[in-house]
Amino acid sequence: MSQSGVLTPASGGGGGILTLTGNSGGAVGPDGIGDIDVVGSGLLSVTGNAGANSLTIDDNTVQSIVQTMDAVFTSFPSTLTINASEAVIVSGTIVGARDDFTGSAGISFRAIARRDGVGGATTGLVTSTDILQDSPSGVPSGQVVLNGNDVEFQVRGVAAETWDWSLTYRVLLQT
């Protein structure tokens, strides 16, 4: 786990926060009303919850797992819904291994999809997939497909073998 910053509390009990220190740029003190704003950038978003006194920092990465036991395409439980008037590019990886680790596969992909205004259908799915594998008994694979307005991620294992798969992807959205 990497360090994302340092919190410097006030000395003694009950005092406020004196500074926040990030990976670079030096310590940042509160403004005139005692607030220090934490702002996301790029793919990072920061969501505050005043009731829980917490900040959640999200890198917009989605992870999901699935198991295959045959050479049939199986969808991961995570799907990406394309809303009206959106365009997205999705990039990610799928890593799989036979349950006894006598075979493995790595799949990297990129896909772009768009949806017209309200009532429009999702169209324009274009994908690029690269597969590396070392299975001695068959060739596992993966694909990105459209199902209605959802982008689905699928893998296909090897006949009569159990494979465990992990999917990680990121989404860049244009609305």
- 84-95 pLDDT, tens digit per residue, is 888 889 999 999
- Percentage of residues in the chain with pLDDT exceeding 70? 89
Residue 25 tokens, joined: 């740029």
Q: What is the mean pLDDT of residues 7-31?
A: 69
On average, the pLDDT of the chain sits at 83
Residue 58, pLDDT score = 76
Q: Which of 9-13, 47-51, 131-135, 158-162 has the highest mean pLDDT?
A: 158-162
Dist. CA 140–CA 106, nearest whole Å: 9
Task: List alpha helices for 89-164, DSSP H.
Answer: none
Contact in structure between 94 and 165 (CB atoms under 8 Å): yes
Q: What is the mean pLDDT of residues 106-114?
A: 92
**Closest C-alpha among 174, 127, 155, 170 to residue 69:** 155
More confident residue, 163 or 45: 163
| Lowest-pLDDT choice from 36-40, 75-79, 150-154, 160-164 | 36-40
> From 2.60.120, 1.10.150, 3.10.450, 2.60.40, which CATH number describes the 61-174 domain?
2.60.40
More confident residue, 21 or 134: 134
Q: Where are the domains of the chain?
A: 6-58, 61-174
Q: Which long-range contacts (CB under 8 A, 24 or more apart) does 126-135 make?
A: 131/105, 131/106, 131/107, 132/105, 132/106, 132/107, 133/103, 133/104, 133/105, 133/106, 134/103, 134/104, 134/105, 135/98, 135/103, 135/104, 135/105
Distance of CA 75 to the CA centre of its chain: 16
Q: What pTM was estimated for this model as a whole?
A: 0.69
